[in-house]
Structure 1
Amino acid sequence: MKKNLIRIALGLALALVFFGHSAKVYQIALLNTLDAFIYDTRLRLTTKGGVDERIVILDIDEKSLAEVGRWPWSRDTMATLVAKLFDNYKIALLGFDVVFAEPDKSSGLSSLESIAGGVLKNDLAFQSALKGLRGELDFDRRFAESLHNRPVVLGFYFTNLDRVNRNGALPAPVLSAGTFRGRNVDLTSWSGFGGNLPEFQSNAVNAGHFNPIVDFDGTSRRVPMLAEHDGQYYEALSLAMVRVLLGKPSIIPGYPDSGPKSGLEWLDLPADKGVLRIPVDENGASLIPYRGPQGSFNYLSASDALNGRLKHEQLAGKIVLLGTTAPGLMDLRVTPVGNTYPGVEIHANLVAGMLDADIKQKPSYVLGADIVQLSLCTLALALLLPILSPLRATLLAAGMLLVAAGLNFYLWTSGLVMPLATVISAILALYALNMSWGYFVETRSKRQFAELFGQYVPPELVDEMARDPERYSMEGKNAELTVLFSDVRGFTSISEGLDPKELTQLMNAYLGAMTRVVQKNRGTLDKYIGDAIMAFWGAPVADADHAWHAVSTALEMQAELRTLDEPFRARGWPALRIGIGINSGTMTVGDMGSQVRKSYTVMGDAVNLASRLEGLTKQYGVGILVSDATKTLVKNMVYREVDRVRVKGKDEPVGIFEPLGTAEQIDKAVQDELKLWNQALRLYRQQDWDQAELQLYNLSRMSPGRDLYQVYAKRITHYRASPPGDDWDGVMTFETK
């Protein structure tokens, strides 16, 4: 435990960061965003779905605007609509998600009144006619009369604009000033409002505001059931409608205990069949119980109702909300179930949720529960993760995540909303901290070993070695490996034709490209020797396919070199040609050198032979030569046998081959040429000079630029003049390196 004190302390410090957010000492925007995302996801996963037949939305839609005219419609039209809804269709309740704030002058009555008081003041006939028309032309009065003694709930809005607007009339407050004095209640407060004309308000049975609370991300998730204005308290449109349905009972605020500092948690509406309880949060707001996406309630066109085109049963006994979905009337909102959701359907969801007692709760004790949950989880993780193995630590963190998420979802389905983002983020952060600590600190000795080895082997193998450093040692040992040498042809003349800066740039480009090919094929880059490259395979990381990787590397190096031709030509540099020699065999590999400088390298006769083969590529005019030992290890490759040679320093002859690619990569033309070459080589070794020369002539016509055929043609000319004798074994001896 003592060695883990720093780790535990860091874990506890990290836990305190999340604790401060959960306790609302400060707020972390990312966690709020994550919590909002989780809330919306849970809501979408658990919506009821289907259509609630009790509530109908009478829609001022595009069709209605086209038939009746642009909004607002004349009050005469609205009076006719209200009369038809109650008298013809027998609806139960009508709520307006619109405001009637301005007088209707569309009838021309005001103009006639002005004339009557002016030029026709003494015209008795005009005055008499106007008196008879006044009742028909006073559209506002007609609309007010249509509201009288009918269950109609008007809508109004609050505002907090810099310039205080107070238009129209407000309904009587539902709770008087001082109701929450001394209580820990923080209701949403507004300074201004837009209400209906006084004569409308006085004739309607009730009215409520239709302001949702727009969260930090622009989404509407709550509506304040009670809102404060000038010390008085006003109800939401949905609550006003439900109260009318219940006979307009008084609102009784509910508190979890009798203490003076207790916060508001519900509103009670006494009714004949008991008390209807509406959960609210610390702001007096209720979570909107979205039933589903738009269309969870029946939408009927307002013009169809106005013109009597609806069936009686479509509206009879229904709760009707008049609102709009027309885009130009600006009542579309962002919600968890849709980004262009009609505001009127928000009120429909709340009315349905209150009637069904289906509004989720977010009481004040949720804050304490979240803090307790967070404390238990983070304390356990901070103490246990440092002493557990990575596997057990992962299982513990995963188990806590599952328990926290499962409990949260269970409470959600039971009607209780608990935050989840903080505890999940804390668990993941503590897990990440401990895993990072384990990697960066506790494996420091392993990484130091890998970094030391990294001086001698390429980085891509260091990671593999670091996973199990005990398996690797820099001490010398014998092992079967494959070594590769490459060299640039004519480098001396190239270097003489370029200034030092250009030569440096050319070599950096060339060596960089070749090195990438070596590393891609798991090779250990031994060293650069001027323009030459030395690499080997099979150590320090064992590689059963070391010969295959080496031969593949050689072929890819030649292909990569051709991709450099165009950019080199563009810069005025010569195209490069290289020779590559490869050999496999037992070599000594290890950390070799002096106290001044060491290198992880390979030595032995097998290494020397690879170097000799690289030199022989010039003699035969080929790009790659591999020994028969390498060819034996790489059987799934097509080769051109080049010769059997005896190199300087070795008595035993060696077969040398040019790899051409896999069988799938070799086309028929190359295969035919290869068959002809094998015949020519056999005739050459049989000293059948004429037939061999004829075959070489045919081969030269097939591939005019192949130097190998010219090499053998010159040998035949030499051997005709100086026959090698009957005991000739066909081996070519080279006395130089």
Structure 2
Amino acid sequence: MIRARWFQLVGSLAVVLWLAGEQTGWWPTQLLQRLEWMSYDIRVNQTLSNQAPQEFVLIDIDEASLQAYGQWPWPRQQLATLVEKSFDDYQLQMLGFDLVFAEQEQNLLAAQWQQLQQRIPVLSSEPLPATGDDALARAIASYPVVTGFYFERSDTAAASTGMLPTPLEVIATDASAPLNELPLVRPDRYASNIKVLQESAWAGGFFDNPTVDADGIFRRVPLVQEFNNQLYPSLPLAMVRTLLGQAPVTLDTHFEGGLWQLEGLDMGGFYYPTDPSAAVLVPWYGGLDTFEKVSAAAILRGDPDVAMKLQDRIAILGTSAPGLMDLRATPVANVFPGMEIHASVLAGLLTMNFKSEPGYAVAITFLGLFLLGLILSWLYPRLPAFALVVTSLAVLIVHIGANMFAWSQGLVLPVASGVLLIVLLTGWHLTLNFWRESKAKRQVASQFGMYVPPELVADIVAAPDAQDLTGQEKELTVLFSDIRDFTSFAENIPPAQLTAVMNQLLSPVTRAIHEHRGTIDKYMGDAVMAFWGAPLADPKHSLHAVQAAIAMQRALRRTNQEFMAAGLPELAMGIGIHTGVMNVGNMGSDFRMAYTVLGDNVNLGSRIEGLTKNYGAEILISDDTLQALGDDHDFSIRPVDLVRVKGRETPVMLFEVVLDPEQQATIAQVQFAWQCYRNRDFAEAERAYHSLANDPLGLLFAERCNYYQDNPPLPEWDGVFTHQQK
């Protein structure tokens, strides 16, 4: 035994050390990193709001636009018209270009203009006609437009093209780090817009992403990149900076471990947490088409319904057409237009809605893994299999719950390493602990796990006779309960909420049955069937059944208070109880078995429950149950009726367990009224029942006695009332 536990401990420590090394990068295999990426993607998709801020819109050069106005590239005069219409006709607030114009537009007229002037004298004094670049430059200069460009990493000596926009104005502080000592992204070249366009733009920002994860998924994007010791903003950051009046930027840096680290940047009072390379996690709002899109063709056509989509909005002009290759793989979709990624980042910048990965996350995760691993390695060898699984599930729930709480607070902490640790340790110890479980306990768990409350297992183990599941005849007490008018109640509740309501309703009812040593036979929608006296013998089965019924009604009162607080109507429950000889045991077929009770007395218990609504009673019991109780109870009981239920000739006397204090004061009056009724003194019985005010039982019998006064029963009348319905 000692050797086995040492073997378990050594294996556990090996798992802990391996995961700790993976987390810190001492021996990286990329397995843990890929699991973390998967867990990140799962968390993203599980917490999507699927509702983007309404201030943003995408102007899409889609397939419909290409079909209507020709293939890309479009004439720049046409793009100028698109810009002018967006602002003049539809009052757009700002526009960002997820496009780059790195070359001048070819103009055949300009190339031949001098020759045309020589051949056509009237043109000799005319200036060169404006080009498409000039038209687009005028449009860009006239409105708040931010152009786009991209950086590249290249091993070749290829030259940059176009003109870079003005770099960021960085405010230096005493705690600022030199730019060349920060682990920023440093590209080798750029491809930007031609000079006439870039000089006309209000600002410019890059739209490339050099921080794509190794699995090719866009999860983060850099806000700035360094080129020639200058910082240049991303397209979304440049747009926000333009809205803020070209606000300067302050870098949040600190010196630790002999290295400068970047933690975030501040721009005009807007603070954005970043990783050391100035990248932020994309704040996903939903899948494809979460942001509203307007087709460029609709703007060029002048569609009137575009006005409400563009007015006072901030837009990004880009393309979702597959042929233009601006599609990316993201956590929310395998094919995602680049302009929607920029829109998500732009929305996150303006609302400061970013999740951050704090620099201390690795240290905390390493320490947490090590401590949790040590605790579980010490604890697990001492637990039986079931307790080990429960403990693991509890630890797993706490771990995931704590991580999701941090997620809700905007922190992204590693979760896969902890889950993997718990799963591996659980599997390791379950494998080695399996032989330690007692065969007898395993048999008992297999036989009775679905039938009896867990707290009775120890008693069943101590009573071998109780483990016989073959059919037997025993005196038992059966209970049926049903929620009244539950169908109409459920019709007004959404299906998703109905499941929660059922759990909220049945959980305390089941708990009440288990606490009084009852065995759940089955659930039938909102109805419950239970019995007492098997599989474990219980000499007080009738008492425990009635006590459980009282506890069930009290639990329903508490649940009704919760329902009313949630705006739901109150519910009422009828409970019928009968005691008698029944057949109990494992019954069913070769394919499926159930531990249940059968017999005429079981059917009678069901019929009694069905009569609770007729008499307005919460709990009805038979005279057989009352006799089995004897004097061993402290609850009040009053007579109800002598009835013959449908399908059974032998009458049964019914009694009500009184819970209402006002009804308890009427017990003597009801007993007197019942005696008068049985003695055919219907006038006196009517007066006695009528004096019970609004008591449902009194109203029912006052009406019945009034009928018998006008229509006296036959001389052989035995006082039995026959019910024709179940």
TM-score, normalised to structure 1, is: 0.56
Question: 1:16-95 to 2 correspondence within 5 Å?
Answer: 16-95=17-96
Match of 2:248 in 1: 250
Q: Is residue 175–residue 234 contact of structure 1 (8 Å, CA) maintained in 2?
A: no
1:120 is displaced (CA, Å) by 6.4
**In structure 1, which of residues 193, 212, 225 is the aligned counterpart of residue 223 of structure 2?**
225
The reply to whether residue 239 of structure 1 matches residue 237 of structure 2 is yes
Structure 1 residue 269: Cα displacement: 1.2
- Cα distance in structure 2, aligned partners of 1:9 and 1:258: 36
2: CA distance between counterparts of 1:165 and 1:222?
28
Match of 1:370? Answer: 365
Q: Aligned partners of 2:182, 2:359: CA distance in 1, in Å? A: 11
Give the whole-Å Cα distance in 1 for the aligned partners of 2:234 and 2:261.
20
Q: Aligned letter for 2:69? A: V
Structure 1, unmatched stretches of 5+, are 447-463, 469-543, 545-737
Distance 1:165 1:403, change over 3 A: farther
TM-superposed CA distance for 1:360, in Å, is 0.7
Aligned pair in 2 of structure 1 residues 309, 362: CA closer, same or farther (>3 Å)? Answer: same
Work out whether residues 177 and 231 of structure 1, in 8 Å CA contact, stay in contact via their aligned partners in 2.
no
- Secondary structure, in 3 states, of the residue corresponding to 2:216? coil
**Structure 1 residues 141, 162: closer, same or farther in 2, change over 3 A?**
same
Q: Does 1:204 align with 2:201?
A: yes
How far is the alpha carbon of 1:192 from its aligned partner?
2.1
* Secondary structure, counterpart of 2:414 in structure 1: coil
Candidates 147, 150, 167, aligned match of 1:154: 147
Q: How many residues align?
A: 438
Q: Helix, strand or coil for the counterpart of 1:154?
A: strand
Provide Cα deviations, 1:385-409, integer angstroms capped at 9, x if missing partner. Answer: 2232222222222221111101001
Give 1:177 deviation, angstroms: 12
Equivalent residue letter for 1:26: W
Structure 2 segments unaligned to the other structure (5+ residues): 444-469, 471-726
Which of 289, 310, 313 is residue 283 of structure 2 equivalent to?
289
Partner of 2:335: 340
Counterpart secondary structure, 2:316: strand
SS class of match (1:8): helix
Q: Aligned partners of 1:187 and 1:177: how far apart in 2? A: 17
Equivalent residue runs for 1:688-707 within 5 Å: none
Partner residue of 2:190 out of 190, 193, 196: 193
Q: Residues 183 and 415 (structure 1 numbering): CA distance in 2 closer, same or farther, change over 3 Å? A: farther
Instruction: Give the counterpart letter for 1:421 in structure 2.
Output: A
Q: Does the residue aligned with 1:367 lie in a helix, a strand or coil?
A: helix
2-structure distance, mates of 1:91, 1:317: 5
Show the counterpart of 2:12. Answer: 11
Q: Which amino acid in 1 is paired with 2:207?
A: F
The residue that corresponds to 1:353 in the other structure is 348
Q: Partners in 2 of 1:53 and 1:176 — Cα distance?
A: 31
Do the aligned residues in 2 keep the contact of 1:64 with 1:301 (CA within 8 Å)? yes
SS class of match (2:129):
helix
CA positional deviation for 1:95: 0.1
Query: Is residue 271 of structure 2 the alignment partner of residue 277 of structure 1?
Result: yes
1:384 match: secondary structure: helix
Cα displacement string for residues 417-474 of structure 1 (whole angstroms, at most 9, x for unaligned residues): 011111111111122222333358x79xx9xxxxxxxxxxxxxxxxx99x99xxxxxx
Query: Displacement, 1:379?
Result: 1.2
- What letter matches 2:144 in structure 1? P
Shift of 1:15: 0.6
* Aligned: 1:401 with 2:396: yes
CA, structure 1 residues 328+183, in 2 after alignment: closer, same or farther (shift >3 Å)? Answer: closer
CA 1:255–1:177: 2 relative to 1, 3 Å:
closer
User: Are residues 259 and 435 of structure 1, via their aligned partners in 2, closer, same or farther at CA, if it must alter by over 3 Å?
Assistant: closer
Q: Tell me whether 1:112 sits opposite 2:105 in the alignment.
A: no
Q: Deviations over 1:249-301 (max 9, x none)?
A: 1111123689974521221112xxxx111121122111111110111111111
Aligned runs of 1:488-527 on 2, under 5 Å? none
Between 1:138-147 and 1:390-399, the stretch displaced more is 390-399
- The residue that corresponds to 1:640 in the other structure is none
Structure 1 match to 2:263: 265
Contact 1:154/1:206 (8 A) holds in 2: yes
Give CA-to-partner distance per residue, 1:319-369, whole Å, 9 cap, x none. 011000111011111111111111101111111111112111112111122
Quick one: distance in 1 between partners of 2:80 and 2:116?
31
Cα distance in 2 for residues equivalent to 1:175 and 1:260: 27
> Which of the two has higher C-alpha Rg?
1
Shift of 1:188: 2.3
Q: Is the 8 A contact 1:177 1:232 kept in 2?
A: no
Which residue, 150, 154, 167 being the options, matches 1:173?
A: 167
Q: Could you tell me whether the CA contact under 8 Å between 2:217 and 2:331 is conserved in 1?
A: yes
Structure 1 residues 14 and 204: alpha-carbon distance in aligned structure 2, compared to 1, 3 A threshold = same
Query: Using the alignment, how far apart are the partners of 2:50 and 2:108 within structure 1?
Result: 48
Query: What letter matches 2:189 in structure 1?
Result: G
Deviation, structure 1 residue 88: 2.3
The 8 Å contact of residues 171 and 248 in structure 2, kept in 1 or not, is answered as no
On the 8 A contact 1:183/1:262 being kept in 2, the answer is no
Name the aligned partner's letter for residue 409 of structure 1.
M
The 2-side partners of 1:245 and 1:260 are apart by 38
Give yes or no for contact 1:378–1:426 (8 Å, CA) kept in 2.
yes
**Cα distance change on mapping 1:183 and 1:423 into 2, 3 Å:** farther
1:289–1:383 distance in 2 versus 1, CA, 3 Å? same
Distance 2:424 2:177 in 1: 41
Distance 2:27 2:104 in 1: 49
Flag the 1:367–1:412 CA change in 2: closer, same or farther, 3 A.
Answer: same
Indicate the percent of aligned positions where both proteins have the same amino acid.
34
Q: Distance in 2 between matches of 1:177 and 1:414?
A: 29
Deviations along 1:35-68, one digit per CA (max 9) or x if unpaired, are 1121111111111222432111111011111111
- Give the AA of the match of 1:276: F
Alignment check: 8 A CA contact 1:263 1:364 kept: no
Partner letter of residue 286 of structure 2? G
Does the CA contact (< 8 Å) of 1:52 and 1:296 recur in 2?
no
CA shift digits 1:625-662 (9 cap, x unpaired): xxxxxxxxxxxxxxxxxxxxxxxxxxxxxxxxxxxxxx
Find the aligned partners of 2:49 and 2:8 in 1 and give their Cα distance.
Answer: 47
Alignment partners' CA distance in 1, 2:358 and 2:387: 36
Relative to structure 1, is the Cα distance of residues 53 and 177 closer, same or farther in structure 2, using a 3 angstrom cutoff? closer
Partner of 1:437: helix, strand, or coil?
Answer: helix
Amino acid of the structure 1 residue aligned with 2:111: S
Q: Secondary structure at the match of 1:233?
A: strand
- Structure 2 residue aligned with 1:711: none
- 2:376 paired residue number: 381
RMSD of aligned Cα (Å) = 3.0
Q: Select which of 121, 127, 131 maps to 1:125.
A: 121
For residues 77 and 180 of structure 2, the distance between their equivalents in structure 1, rounded to whole angstroms, comes to: 47
Q: Distance in 1 between matches of 2:155 and 2:273?
A: 32
* Alpha carbons 2:262, 2:278 under 8 Å: kept: yes
The match for 1:696 is none
Please say if residues 385 and 434 of structure 2, whose CA atoms lie closer than 8 Å, have aligned partners that are also in contact.
Answer: no
Partner-residue secondary structure (3-state), 1:42: helix
The answer for the alignment partner of 2:566 in structure 1 is: none
Read off the aligned partner of 1:206 and give its amino acid letter. A
